[in-house]
Amino acid sequence: MVMLRLTAEQYCKLPILIDEETCIGKTYVITGGNSGLGLETARHLVAASAECVVLAVRNLKAGEVAKNDIEKTTGRKGVVQVRHIDMSSYASVQSFVNKITAELDRIDGFICNAGLMTDAWSQSEGMETSMFVNVISTVFLGVLMMPKLKECASKFNIKPTLVFIVSVLGYIAKGEMDKSRNGVIFDNLNDQKRANMDQRYALTKLVEECAVRQFAALCPVERTGVVITMVAPGLCTTGLGRDARTFTKIMHEALRVMMARTAEEGSRTILHGLVVGEEGHGKLLSGCKIKEFWVPT
């Protein structure tokens, strides 16, 4: 039922829910901001008069290209900054957080957008790489940013938003998740012999959503002043899947041709995640609406 709803939603026109009034004077950070959804989200924020938009990227050269592209299309210079982060490294994530929290006085929105789709087994920091990047490192980054976001909430009397990018594709991987419930779940997910890499991306997004839901429950807005949202942008034309093998690329591309949104259209769902406010805390957002009724029981 969820997949049928998602398919139908792919063809709906999405609103742009930010403007100069909502963005002027504000600062945003976007991981994976050099391409796809991250790039288009940044472009919208700069065009809407944000004061500072930080692109957190693995490849600094690609980040500078993205910065120049945004400046050219929006006509605004001196807004975009490029900073390095490698989501496959604990040390890099920690270093990024240390630097960005020292450099920025204010953060209004932090978007954990960087992700990986691969069907080849590899490891980072002793964990299967896509599970590490999409779940462990992403949530680690969010946890490390909370003290700064809480400080901004108090100092500026605002409600900063921490946005995680999830996917309802995760719901098709529930069977894979169930296989790992006996014992220590991440040990089981890190077992190459048991891993179904064709469904690994979907599984990582399911595990991420479960983790973020728990994170949001432990950090209520009334205590932290920070809103935590989960955005499912739907199927979009981006570079996601470029690290997959040929068969997965072909299947992914076929679906994109049939029903994918553009990256710009998909980025509108992320903008909704930034402005939805406290009512969206810890909830699934899709199609610029709260979609908790989509979540399987």
Catalytic residues: 167, 201, 205
How far, in whole angstroms, is CA 17 from its chain's centroid? Answer: 18
What is the rounded distance in angstroms from the CA atom of residue 95 to the CA atom of residue 56?
12
* CB 31 within 8 Å of CB 113: yes
Burial of 175 (C-beta count, 10 Å sphere; 0-12/13-18/19+): exposed
Tokens 């050099």, located at residue: 34
Location of structure tokens 């891993």: 195
Q: Which amino acid is at 197?
A: M
Q: What is the DSSP string of 75-87?
A: ---S-EEEEE--T
What is d(CA 30, CA 13) in angstroms, rounded to the nearest whole number? 24
